[in-house]
Amino acid sequence: MKISVIIPTYRPGEYMRECIESLVGQTLSHADFEVLVVLNGCREPFYEQLSQWLGQTDLQWRLIQTDQPGVSHARNMGLRHSQGKYVAFLDDDDWVSPGYLEQLLEVSDEESIGVALVQTYDEKTHALGSDYLTRAYRRLGGRREVSLLRGRTFMSSCCCKLIPMSVIGSRIFVEQLSQGEDAFFMTTISDGVRCIRRAGDEAVYYRRLRHGSASRSRGGLLKRVAHAFRIQHKYVKLYMSSPSTYSFRFFFTRLVGTWMVALFDV
């Protein structure tokens, strides 16, 4: 198995169906990837609906249910059940272009992370736009490969990329973190990443902007500052656990980024 696509979902609706349909339309052979949907929370009526949607496809799929909520817990369950050489994380309200998996696979290897173009989709205006990951991708220009430090922006999210399982190993998401869990997980596995490689422009991750969604809200200033102190402690502890293998310069950028989010909500 080449790729495991992990999709955490909680009370899935029609957005989830669109997400699944985008995987059905992949140019990569369905024999080369599996889809692991992790339903974290109430089982019914969602388990039956998901089974029906997935059962109507020819995808290789598995549906996993857990009563414990939390996106990090769901992703960890997906990792424990994955059989692919690479992992692609996909949020249930997002979707991907037909060439997404195939083109990411072409540029990824056991020490490199392939990254895709991100396009935002505003559900109110139906307009495509950009975010910080889009701008980071565009800044690469004609460069197909950059160092971990130069491509550090891509390490703030686990989505829109292909991650080798050889890099992840036994590392998991910290389930106690309610914000910044993506960036911390990616920092945890950064010791095994040699470079970041850009896939072709036809590999696109579409990120839906849902106004008022709790997953897009970071809370007030005091809450963000308190969180920054907590996660800063975790970053320092992680680096000190293996300073000879982790990059100090990369970790420093993570700390700066944490406080930029806390103070300026960027």
Q: What is the pLDDT of residues 46-85, one digit of tens each?
A: 999 999 999 999 999 999 999 998 999 999 999 999 999 9
Model confidence at 211, in pLDDT bands (50, 70, 90)? low
Share of the chain above pLDDT 90, in %: 81
| Contact between residue 101 and residue 28 where contact means Cβ atoms under 8 Å apart | yes
Residues 139, 230, single domain; the answer is: no
Count how many domains the chain has: 2
The reported pLDDT for the residue numbered 218 is: 57
| Contact between residue 201 and residue 118 where contact means Cβ atoms under 8 Å apart | no
The reported pLDDT for the residue numbered 237 is: 96
The reported pLDDT for the residue numbered 26 is: 98
Q: For residues 217-222, give the mean pLDDT.
A: 71
Domain containing 233 equals 218-266
Residues 81, 194, single domain; the answer is: yes
Residue 262 reports pLDDT greater than 70: yes
Residues 147, 53, single domain; the answer is: yes
Residues 121, 233, single domain; the answer is: no
Using CA atoms, how far apart are residues 257 and 251, in angstroms rounded to an integer?
Answer: 10
Q: Which of 57, 82, 89 is nearest to 2 (CA)?
A: 82
Residues 49, 88, single domain; the answer is: yes
The reported pLDDT for the residue numbered 79 is: 98
The reported pLDDT for the residue numbered 215 is: 46
Q: Which of 112, 107, 116 is nearest to 138 (CA)?
A: 116
**Listed residues 177, 199, 217: the one ending a domain:** 217
The reported pLDDT for the residue numbered 212 is: 56
| Contact between residue 71 and residue 179 where contact means Cβ atoms under 8 Å apart | no
Report the alpha-carbon angle 50-74-205, nearest 5.
Answer: 75
Looking at 82-220, list the stretches that DSSP marks H as alpha helix, in order from N- to C-terminal side: 100-107, 132-139, 165-168, 181-188
Residues 174, 92, single domain; the answer is: yes
Residue 106 reports pLDDT greater than 60: yes
Q: For residues 94-118, give the mean pLDDT.
A: 97
The reported pLDDT for the residue numbered 221 is: 85
Please return the burial class of 124, using the count of CB atoms within 10 Å of its CB with bins 0-12, 13-18 and 19+.
exposed
Residues 187, 223, single domain; the answer is: no
For residue 72, the Cα-to-chain-centroid distance in whole angstroms is 11
Quote the mean pLDDT of the chain: 93
pTM above 0.85, yes or no: yes
Residues 236, 180, single domain; the answer is: no
